[in-house]
Amino acid sequence: MHAEFDGKENEELEALNIEVAVAGRMMTRRIMGKASFVTLQDVGGRIQLYVARDDLPEGVYNEQFKKWDLGDILGAKGKLFKTKTGELSIHCTELRLLTKALRPLPDKFHGLQDQEARYRQRYLDLISNDESRNTFKVRSQILSGIRQFMVNRGFMEVETPMMQVIPGGAAARPFITHHNALDLDMYLRIAPELYLKRLVVGGFERVFEINRNFRNEGISVRHNPEFTMMELYMAYADYKDLIELTESLFRTLAQDILGKTEVTYGDVTLDFGKPFEKLTMREAIKKYRPETDMADLDNFDSAKAIAESIGIHVEKSWGLGRIVTEIFEEVAEAHLIQPTFITEYPAEVSPLARRNDVNPEITDRFEFFIGGREIGNGFSELNDAEDQAQRFLDQVAAKDAGDDEAMFYDEDYVTALEHGLPPTAGLGIGIDRMVMLFTNSHTIRDVILFPAMRPVK
C-alpha cells in the first residue's frame, strides 16, 4: 500500500476514491475527543487510521473502540487519504475487534529491551522490534536466494536422516537418543556429509541440503547446539571450483538482498565485490605471528613449544597437524576480517578430505573466514576407500585416547566408496553465521528464532 500510494498527493487520493480493508495489531492510539489516530501494524509494516466517532456505526467509538487496548488486533475499512503532514492514512468507516490481547505490550511497545526476554518470548520481540523482524526477513531471503542459486547451477535439493546410527561428517560431540521400537541408541546428526556422498555414489552428481545439525557442545555468541547448515556436493569438480562458487554465492546474495556487494559489519565494511584473499594455513601463521620460524612447524617438538608458548594446552592424542591447526586458530583466525580462504589443512584434522598430490601431509581443503570467524569449509573429497578406512581407524584411536570429538568408524560408508565415488568436491556453509554478517548481528541468538535457553526456574 505504501509503495503504491505514498507518492500521491491527497487531492489525487480523493479523486481516486480508494477504499481499502486492513487488519493488524494496534500499536499506538491518540484519543482526541471525538476523533483518534491509531497505528496498525502487520507483517508488511504500519498504517495510520483516522477514527472519527461520527463516521462509525453508532456506539462503536465510545462503547467499543475506547475500551480496546494496545496490542489488540483490529480490522478496519475506509478510504485512503493523506494528513496535513503528508502521512498516508485510512479514514475509517468500519472498525471491529478481531482478537483481544489479554496481556499488555512490553513497555508500551517501545521495544523489549531485556536480551534474555527477547529470546524467551520471541513473539513479543517480533511485535515490538522492527530490527528483529527485519533480521528474520533477511534470513528467509538468504535461504530462498541460496536455493535459487543452487538450482540455477543444476543442483538437486535432498533430505538425509536427522537420526543416525553412526554420527559422521564432522568432529563433534553428538546428542544421543534411544529408538524404542528398534531398542537402539541413535544420534542426532552432526553433519549430513556421509549420506550426501552416498547419493553422489548413486549417481546424483550435484546435490545440496539445507537443514539442522546438532552438536552437544558449548553455547556462545557464535555457537548454538542446534544450527542450520547448507552442504553441497559436486561430482567432477575440486576444491578450487568451490572457491569460485563460494565467492559467487556471497556476491550474488549481497547484491540481490542488500542491493550492493559491500556489507557493513560493526565498524568494518566487508567487500564481497572483489576476489577473496587466499592464504595457506602456514602463510596465515607467518602473517599474523611474524616471528615464527616456518621450519619449526615441520617438527613436532618445536611446534609443540610454540603452541605452549601462546597458551595452548597440547593433548596427548594430538599429532603435528593438529598442533599447527591450533596455532593457526590462536594467532590468525581473529584477524581474518575481510573474506579469506585458508588452504592446505593438515590431513590429521581433515579425515574426509583428499590428500594433496604433491604433499600427502596436507589436503586439498579450505575453510573461509569473514569477520574473524569461520563461515564455511570445503574440500576435494577423499574417494580412496582404503585410505578412508585407515583414517577412520586413526579417528577411533584418537577417540580411545580421549578425544570425544573424534569420528566413529562407518563401515557402510567405506563400502559405498568401494563402489566408486567420482572425483567430487563438497562444501558446508553455516547459515546462522551468514545471516549474522548480512544483518550486522553480533550474537548467534539474534538470528535464530528460538535459540537454546536454560529453563526458567
For 247-257, write each residue's pLDDT tens digit: 999 999 999 99
- Percent of all residues in the chain with a pLDDT value above 70, rounded to a whole number: 98
Mean pLDDT of 301-328: 96
- Backbone region of residue 22 per phi and psi (left: phi > 0; alpha: psi in -120 to 50; beta: other values): beta
Q: Residue 359: name the closest of 242, 280, 428, 244 by CA.
A: 280
Residue 402, pLDDT score:
83
| Residues 6+ positions from 434 with CB-CB distance below 8 Å | 142, 253, 375
How many angstroms separate the CA atoms of 147 and 207, rounded?
11
Q: How far apart are CA 431 and CA 303, in angstroms?
A: 34
Q: Is there a contact between 249 and 143 (Cβ–Cβ < 8 Å)?
A: no
d(CA 279, CA 276): 10
Go through 407-437 and write b for each residue having 16 or more CB atoms within 10 A of its CB, e for each that does not.
bbebeebeebbeeebeebbbbbbbbbbbbbb
Write the pLDDT tens digit of every residue in 101-115: 999 988 754 556 688
Question: Is residue 26 over pLDDT 90?
Answer: yes
Hey, which residues does 210 pair with through a beta bridge? Answer: 230
Q: What is the mean pLDDT of residues 288-299?
A: 97
Instruction: Work out the number of other CB atoms within 10 angstroms of the CB of residue 207.
Output: 24
- pLDDT at site 170: 84
Q: What is the DSSP string of 222-241?
A: S--SEEEEEEEEEET--HHH
Binding-site residue positions: 367, 374
- Residue owning grid cell 491527497: 10
Query: Which residues are annotated binding-site positions for Mg(2+)?
Result: 367, 374
Please state whether the predicted TM-score (pTM) of the whole model is above 0.85. yes
In this predicted model, what pLDDT tens digit does every residue of 232-288 receive, in sequence order? 999 999 999 999 999 999 999 999 999 999 999 999 999 999 999 999 999 999 999
| Mean model confidence pLDDT for the chain | 95
pLDDT of residue 111: 57
Q: Which domains does the chain have, with CATH numbers?
A: 2-104 (2.40.50.140), 130-289+332-447 (3.30.930.10)
Give the model's pLDDT for residue 82: 94
| pLDDT tens by residue, 353-372 | 999 999 999 999 999 999 99
- CB 41 within 8 Å of CB 25: yes
What is the DSSP code string of 318-335?
Answer: --HHHHHHHHHHHHTGGG
Q: Pick the residue with more confidence: 118 or 422? A: 422
Can you tell me whether residue 91 is helix, strand or coil? strand
- The dihedral through the CA atoms of 49, 51, 57, 61 has a sign that is positive
Distance CA 416, CA 414 (A): 5
pLDDT at res. 109: 45
- Given this model, what pLDDT does residue 87 score? 96
Residue 108 is predicted with a pLDDT of 52
What gap in Å lies between CA 221 and CA 225, rounded to an integer?
A: 12
Mean pLDDT calculated for residue range 126-138: 95
User: How do 156-157 and 206-214 pair as beta strands?
Assistant: parallel
Q: What percent of the chain is modeled with pLDDT above 90?
A: 86
Burial track 96-134 (b if 16+ CB lie within 10 A, e otherwise)? ebeeeeeeebbeebebbeeeeebbbebebbbbbbeebbe
Question: Looking at residues 314-341, what average pLDDT do you find?
Answer: 97
